[in-house]
Amino acid sequence: MWPFDKKKASPQPPTPEAVPAAPAGGAAFHLTCAADLGQGPLPVFPLLMSSAAFTPAPNQLARPLIVGPKLPGIPWVMIVHLIPTPGSPAPSRAFLRKERVDQLGKTVKDFEAEALANVALRTATWEVVEPSPGAKMLTCTDDYLAAERILDPAFLRKGHGMLGEKSMVVGIPCRGQLCATPLAAFTQGAAHARTFKMLVEHLHAGAGETAIAPWLFLVIDGTLNSILEVE
């Protein structure tokens, strides 16, 4: 049994009613780039999309998660509104277009900055998992936008603190799934490296439409650094 499987076989996003709600602790989402589509102001958020299954329209707000690697299937970072959908466990998504940026007199960077600030305000937690003695991993599975936390330096630094290292290997296999392990343990233990790689690939392969990426990413001090190519 894989570490994530003990809780659920596939990502379970929050109920639609929970998606646009203000975060806990009295804070509120930033709304300068929000839109009212008939259900009150909807904040902007980042959303990772697999480039193997999704191609943005030319006028949509989109960029590659990371620039440079030659590997196929580098995810897109899209800017979206999440719209509650009655009777569905997941929200509908409205992809933002450049016309909306121009309409508000803002820049694409303004929209992305607000989206990243908003995802950091959502409730999400790291959980420690040890598939074998001494093989520590972290998982985050309690938010629809868990994978997007790879864009949240503060959340990643919490992971560094729990692992006791400033370098970690991170996987974003599918919607609602983020996992991490210390770089030192990954590079020094062949068995642990294989287990972590197989975990990410297993989750990605079984995710269907919610798949994001099978690759392993290197994060250093809360910042996405590169992709690790592992045999």
Q: Which of 166, 162, 127 is nearest to 146 (CA)?
A: 127
Please indicate, yes or no, if residue 71 is contained in any of the structural domains. yes
Please indicate, yes or no, if residue 6 is contained in any of the structural domains. no
pLDDT band for position 136 (cuts 50, 70, 90): confident
Pairwise CA distance, residues 230 & 212, whole Å: 18
Residue 137's contacts (CB-CB under 8 Å, 6 or more residues apart) are: 3, 128, 129, 130, 131, 179, 180, 181, 196, 199
Q: Of 66, 87, 121, which residue constitutes the final position of a domain?
A: 121
Pairwise CA distance, residues 79 & 48, whole Å: 9
Spatial contact of 140 and 182, defined as CB atoms under 8 Å apart: no
In the chain, DSSP assigns E strands to: 35-36, 41-42, 44-49, 62-64, 76-83, 92-95, 127-132, 135-140, 167-171, 178-182, 216-220, 223-228
The predicted pLDDT at position 14 comes to 37
> Which tens digit of pLDDT belongs to each residue from 175-208?
999 999 999 988 887 888 888 999 999 999 999 9
> Which tens digit of pLDDT belongs to each residue from 56-93?
999 999 999 998 767 778 999 999 999 988 888 789 99
Q: Which residues pair with 226 in a beta bridge?
A: 218
Q: Which of 148, 125, 141 is nearest to 199 (CA)?
A: 141
Residue with tokens 């466990």: 89
Q: Are residues 136 and 204 in the same domain?
A: yes
Element (H, E) at 201: helix 190-205
| Dihedral sign (CA 62, 66, 67, 72) | negative
The predicted pLDDT at position 106 comes to 97
Q: Which of 18, 17, 1 is nearest to 9 (CA)?
A: 1
Can you state the percent helix, strand and coil of the chain, rounding each to 5?
30, 25, 40
pTM for the model stands at 0.87
Asked if the model's pLDDT at residue 157 lies above 70, the reply is yes
Residue 70's contacts (CB-CB under 8 Å, 6 or more residues apart) are: none
Q: Of 60, 93, 121, which residue constitutes the final position of a domain?
A: 121
The predicted pLDDT at position 84 comes to 86
pLDDT band for position 39 (cuts 50, 70, 90): confident
By residue range, what is the domain housing residue 172? 124-228
Asked if the model's pLDDT at residue 118 lies above 70, the reply is yes
The predicted pLDDT at position 215 comes to 93
Please indicate, yes or no, if residue 106 is contained in any of the structural domains. yes
- Total domains present in the chain: 2
Q: Of 88, 104, 121, which residue constitutes the final position of a domain?
A: 121
CB neighbour burial string for 125-148, b if at least 16 within 10 angstroms, e if fewer: ebeebeeeeebbbbbbbbbbbbbb
